[in-house]
Amino acid sequence: MAAAPLPAQEVCRTVLVSSKPARRVLHVLFLALFLPLFALPLLVIVAASFATNWSGALPSGATLAHYRELARGDALTALLTSLGTALAASLAALTAGTWAALAAQRLGRRARRVLDGLFLLPLAVPSVVVGLALLVAFSRPPLLLNGTPQIVILAHTVLVTAFAHQSVTAALARLDPAYEQSAAGLGARPGYVLWRVKLPLLLPSLTAAAGLCFALSMGELSATMMLYPPDWLPLPVQIFAATDRGALFSGAALAVALMATTLLVLLAVSRLRTRAGYR
């Protein structure tokens, strides 16, 4: 019974369309939809970042100039700004989201639903409105944050906390309560159970949530557009500024930098996660 699901799956997959030509047609159709819609967009951005002109079927005027531009000046500052914002926001979001998820688990059913609902609410509210709300709330005393980097970080935190909360809640639901019960039954204090049993078990999910929060914060544009001060321009804002003034190709190079950084961090996090999973 142990390996049951996989072979069963194989069987069902072959029964649905049994004739080989029909399968071939379906696959061609699939690729005809999939490649232009999903693979091509990412490829053209990379191709454009090495070009100066694109008036034919292929880009022309191969150059590394956009990347040289990137290594100095505003672009590098923007990348560092984005990294700093994403790091601060995902750490804060992870703390708040995990705390809320752990607290919610100990509440009664109805109270838990309310708490979960409140923490997921930022998903439903448009990011632009979250930006506007922070602008309205923190442009007046007692808390004057308008025009500071903190308000951007705050906005990102609000937006990604929902994802952290959701991931941790899902992980908690899958967690076998037997571990903490036996630890508690052996006389471990609640704090000890949380720190030495529950959090280590949650670690893989926590790192995954951190990676997701980081990626989302790196690419956040909507709320940032409402809030960014002139001395704190994250990368997406720079990309918009570049394309808005018609510099599509340097915009593409900036976008490649954004994607590469996000991917590198996600990769690092997933390696960390595998290691954590083996513990």
Q: Which residues, numbered 29-48, are part of the site for another protein (CB under 8 A)?
A: 29-30, 33-34, 36-42, 44-45, 47-48
Q: Which residue's CB is nearer to another protein, number 136 or number 144?
A: 136
The stretch near another protein (CB under 8 A) out of 62-70, 71-79, 83-91, 222-230 is 222-230
Report the site for another protein in 154-193 (rule: CB under 8 A): 154, 157-158, 161, 163, 166-167, 169-171, 173-174, 176-177, 180-181, 183-185, 187-190, 193
User: Does 241 participate in binding another protein (rule CB under 8 A)?
Assistant: no
Give the nearest distance from C-beta 66 to another protein in angstroms. 14
Residue 89: how many CB atoms within 10 A of its CB?
Answer: 26
Which residues, 6 or more positions from 158, have their beta carbon under 8 angstroms from its beta carbon? 122, 130, 134
133-152 in b/e form (b: 16+ CB < 10 A) is: ebbeebeeeeeebbeebebb
Question: Minimal CA–CA distance to 65: which of 53, 50, 78?
Answer: 50
- Asked if the bond preceding 200 is cis, omega within 30° of 0, the reply is no
Query: CA-to-CA distance for 94 and 88, rounded, in angstroms?
Result: 10
User: Does 141 participate in binding another protein (rule CB under 8 A)?
Assistant: no
As beta bridge partners, residue 278 has: none
Question: Minimal CA–CA distance to 159: which of 195, 108, 199, 212?
Answer: 212
User: Does 263 participate in binding another protein (rule CB under 8 A)?
Assistant: yes
Among 78, 202, 233, 252, binds another protein (CB under 8 A): 252
Among 65, 203, 221, 276, binds another protein (CB under 8 A): 221
Among 65, 87, 96, 247, binds another protein (CB under 8 A): 96
Among 120, 241, 247, 276, binds another protein (CB under 8 A): 120
Residue carrying the six token digits 């029964």: 15
Answer whether 151's CB lies under 8 Å from 138's CB: yes
Amino acid identity of 150? Q
Answer whether 229's CB lies under 8 Å from 80's CB: no
User: If binding means CB under 8 A, how many residues of this protein chain bind another protein?
Assistant: 127
Give the nearest distance from C-beta 262 to another protein in angstroms. 6
User: Does 248 participate in binding another protein (rule CB under 8 A)?
Assistant: yes
Among 65, 87, 91, 105, binds another protein (CB under 8 A): 105
Give the nearest distance from C-beta 74 to another protein in angstroms. 18
